[in-house]
Each structure stands twice: as structure tokens, then as C-alpha cells.
Amino acid sequence: MAVQPQHWRYAFSVIGFALLLLLNFEVSAQETQSDGPNIILILADDLGYGDLGCYGQESIRTPNIDRMARAGLRFTNHYAGSTVCAPSRCCLLTGKHTGHVAIRGNSEVLLPSEETTVAELLKGKGYKTAAFGKWGVGHPPPPGDPERNGFEQFFGYLDMWHAHNYYPDFLWDGESKMSIMGNLVEVIGRGGVAFKRSVYSHDLFADRAVEFIKANKDERFFLYLPFTIPHANNEAREKGMEVPDAAPYKDTDWPEPQKNHAAMITRLDQTVGRILDLLTTLKITNNTLVLFTSDNGPHKEGGANPEFFRSSGPLRGYKRDLYEGGIRVPLIAWWPGTIKPATETDHISASWDFFPTFAELATAKVPAKLDGVSFAPTLLGKESQQQHEYLYWEFHERGTSQAVRFGKWKAVRFHQGKFELYDLSTDLTEAKDVSAENPDVLKKAKAMLDGAHTPSKLYPFKARKR
């Protein structure tokens, strides 16, 4: 039977409609993909501003991180989200400072399900996402918490106290407990101390990182590496700087905790070198951004003495302080072919800036009401870098304290009424309180401190205990 012309027209219209649907589907699918770089974010735990050779350290060997700085960009005015780990990690993942985030201390509060993390954002742009190391976002995180917050793979510690022990008898592999054969642990307090030691957890995280990069070398990926080094095992007290051996510092005349502390940092440095070398071998350096930073300033726990190595560098204070030594941390960015080698920036940034920075690089839409400012222009060598009006912190241990950094000024306020003001351009050590001489600056700082804080029933302001 002959086909009538109207039938041909109908057939062509159906075929045309099908092609149009297919084209629209392909365009829609492409819109979910990103042309941005792979992103590897390495987060040290309690590493001080002065613990790296490229930031002035003279005793601890960090050749790989130092070469990363020589081949990349070193930030001199970068800040952690908080002066302790849980809120700092929450700020990093959500793009909000501690005046707005749900988790403002190492307390029994979890990341709300309605909160969007940078991992969720990148996953939505087609990135493969993984996190290996210490989750530590609130307490106690349930099994699967990283996966519920954007990470397709997770391996490590969920609980921040479990993470104190470098020789655990189990780790979380997704939602499943994985036994670590050869480690036997005595539970002490909220953490534990191994009395039989065979497997060092950090080495397992490094191996997983290598496996993930190899498996995804042809994909876009976001790899978050919140390593535990050089945090102490607090439950082990003066023996808390746990490391398989003190090499290359065995023959020094240093106290044992300081030998081990240095050995931990050098071990971390070796892992960084291993990752950079792998990227070079796989020939994916030109489309991979690697960032190295820390979650807060150096600790004085587990026998460690931050004065011994001048771990805060020229800065005042340590972990749990809102002085510069507690919150100013290293940040190094490495991206061969894009970032100009051996460069330095004094751009003032904080860990809540990672979210909008990664979003911009991945061409993703940034959620509203973030506190972060993208520093992608600084990475790309552009002059269009937006500046923060101010950076803000609040901390609720030992009474409530607040801090604000704006331009050259830094203000610290304690809830019992004490107020301090420092000019960081002339007084990096925060030695001279100039609040009395600068009433107008003090007034401006007070307005910022008041305006940046959103009240929280979980974190009420309280006076410092005497």
C-alpha cells in the first residue's frame, strides 16, 4: 500500500520531536557537568602556622610541602573556621562562619540535614566525591553521615574522640565497621589507647587516597583528605604523639614527644609528596587543584610543646585561642599551568571561602546566605578579587569569646566585658592593646561583633569561669 503524503509528514514530525527531546536531554545532561578542575583538599589536624619550612620552620623537615609552595601560591593571611576541629570543619563544608553555623563547638550537635555542603554541590556538577580521614563534624556522627552530606565514599573515623587513637581496632568504611587486624585497644574515657600496635591509620588513608585518584583519573573528582596528623591521642597523656617511629629525628637530643611530633609532620609531608608525584605520573596535574591547610592552630596536648618548635611562628596563642596563633593557618595552592609558581598573597581569607571558591571553579550556582567569598580570582592571578568586609569567629569553651579581623585591625572580646584591639600591621604578635587610643575603630569592631552573631540556644553566651 502506498504511503500517503500526510503520513510522511506525520512520521517526520514524530522523528523531529524525538530528536528535539534527545537534544534537550543532552544539553540538560551537559549542564550538570563541570569543566572545572579536580580538587584535592588536604586538611591537617592541629598544624600550626609555623610548623612548615615554607612558613619559617627550621627544625621539622617538610620538603614536599615546601616544593608545593615553590611551585604554587602561598597565603599569608588565611584563617581556620574555628580554633577547634568540629566547628572548623563545619565552616569549611558549609561556607558559613561560627556566627551562623549549626556546630559552634566540640559538642553533641550534628550537621542539619537541610544544610548544603560543598561536596553536595560538586556532586551535583558531576564530580566524584570522597573523604578519607577524620569526619569529626559534630558528635556523635551516625554511620553514613558523610554520605548523607555529599560524599560518595568515606573511610576513616566518624567520632572525633575515636580519631585520637592512631592505632584503632576498627574504622568506618562507608556505613560498615572495618576491623583493623593487629591493633588491640583499651577504651579510656571517650577515646582509646592501643596496647598492641600494628597498623597506623594515617597510612591507610594515604593508600585510599592513591586508590581513589587512580580509579578516577579520567573523571572530575573532589577528594577531601581530613588527616589526623599531628593531633595528639589525648587519652595517652604524655605518650600521645603516636607515630610508628621517630625517624628522621631519632638521634636528636629532643624530648621524645617532640621527636614524635616532628616525625608525624614529616610523615604527613611524605604523603603530600606521594599525592603530587602520583598526579604527575598520571599526567593530570594541569587539571588538578591541590590545597593544603589546617583546621586550627597547634595544640599542647599528648606531651607536645608548641614553644619547642615555635609552632605558631611569630603569632600569639595556640589551639582554643582566638588570638592569631589559634586561628591563622597555612594555606598553599598548587595547580601547575594555572597558578604562577613561587607566588605569595596577603589576601585575607578563611576556610568558609572554600565553598564559593570551588563553586566558582566548577561553574556551580552558589547557595544564598553564605559568609564565604570566592578567592578563585586570586588563584587565577586576576585583579578582580572581592574582599571581605570582615572575618568573624566565636568560641564557647572556657566562657564565650569573639574575634573579628577587618583590614589591619583585629578585635577580641570576652563575654565578661574585656575588649582588646590590635593593629596587625605593626603588632603581629598582638602584644599591645590599642583599644583606648582608637575609640572609633573600637566602635566599628563592636558593631561587627554584634551583627555577625546569630543567637543559638545550643551556644548561649557565658562568662569565663575563674
Domain at 405, CATH number? 3.30.1120.10
Domain count, the chain: 2
Query: Cell for 466?
Result: 575563674
Instruction: Based on the fold, state whether residues 137 and 203 are members of the same structural domain.
Output: yes
Q: What value does the mean pLDDT take over residues 7-21? A: 42
pLDDT of residue 9: 44
Same domain, 269 and 413: no
Output 184 or 10, whichever has higher pLDDT: 184
Q: Are residues 364 and 410 in the same domain?
A: no
Is the predicted pLDDT of residue 20 greater than 90, yes or no? no
Helix (H, G, I), strand (E, B) or coil at 190: coil
- The pLDDT of residue 107 is 87
Reported as a single tens digit per residue, the pLDDT across 38-85 is 999 999 999 999 999 999 999 999 999 999 999 999 999 999 999 999
CA distances from 306 to 57, 165, 252, 355, 455 (A): 12, 20, 17, 30, 34
Cell (9 digits) for 23: 537534544
In the block, cell 607566588 appears at 343
Would residue 320 count as lying in a domain? yes
E strand map for 227-318: 288-294
pLDDT band at 427 (very low <50, low <70, confident <90, very high): very high
Question: Any idea how long the chain is?
Answer: 466
Residue from 26, 262, 226 nearest 141 by CA: 226
| 5 occurs within a structural domain | no
Compute the distance between CA of residue 338 and CA of residue 288 in angstroms, rounded to an integer.
10
**Band (25; pLDDT cuts 50, 70, 90):** very low
* 118 plus 155 within the same structural domain: yes
Residue 464: predicted pLDDT? 66
Predicted TM-score (pTM) of the model is: 0.92
Same domain? For 102 and 202 the reply is yes
Does residue 16 lie in a domain region? no
- 206 lies in some domain: yes
What pLDDT sits at residue 417? 76
At 428-460, the pLDDT tens digits run 999 999 999 999 999 999 999 999 999 999 999
Could you say which of 353, 379, 405 is where a domain stops? 379
What would the mean pLDDT of 359-364 be, rounded to a whole number?
Answer: 97
Whether residue 209 sits in one domain with residue 118: yes
Q: Looking at the predicted structure, is the pLDDT value of residue 6 above 70? A: no
The reply to whether 413 and 362 lie within a common domain is no
Q: Give the pLDDT mean for 334-357.
A: 98
The pLDDT of residue 422 is 98
Question: Which percentage of the chain shows pLDDT scores above 90?
Answer: 87
User: What's the number of CA atoms in the CB half-sphere (13 Å) around residue 212?
Assistant: 27
Is residue 19 assigned to a domain?
no
The DSSP letter of residue 85 is H
The closest of 376, 458, 403 to 101, measured between CA atoms, is 458
Torsion angle in degrees (nearest 10) through CA of 60, 354, 227, 254: 20
Quick check: is 464 in a domain? Answer: no
pLDDT at 415: 85
**Which of 379, 404, 436 delimits the end of a domain?**
379
**The three three-digit cell numbers of residue 333, written as one number:** 595552592
Residue 316 covered by a domain: yes
CATH of the domain at 148: 3.40.720.10
DSSP 202-236: HHHHHHHHHHHHHHTTTS-EEEEEE--TT---GGG
Residue ranges making up the domain that contains 122: 38-379
Q: Which among 359, 379, 399 is the end of a domain?
A: 379
| Residues 165-177, mean pLDDT to the nearest whole number | 98
- Are residue 372 and residue 398 in the same domain, yes or no? no
Instruction: Choose between 80 and 26: higher pLDDT.
Output: 80
Read off the pLDDT of residues 262-271 as tens digits, 9 standing for 90 and up: 999 999 999 9
The per-residue pLDDT for 181 is 96
Q: Do residues 199 and 329 share a domain?
A: yes
For residue 366, pLDDT beyond 70? yes
CB atoms < 10 A from the CB of 215, how many?
A: 13
What phi and psi values does residue 354 have, to the nearest 5 degrees?
-60, -40
Is residue 18 included in any domain, yes or no? Answer: no
Do 340 and 437 fall within a single domain?
A: no
Q: How confident is the model at residue 118 (pLDDT cuts 50, 70, 90)?
A: very high
Give yes or no: residues 283 and 413 share one domain: no
Q: Determine the average pLDDT of the residues in 86-98.
A: 98
**Higher per-residue pLDDT: 428 or 22:** 428
202/179 same-domain check: yes
Q: Identify the pLDDT of residue 10.
A: 41
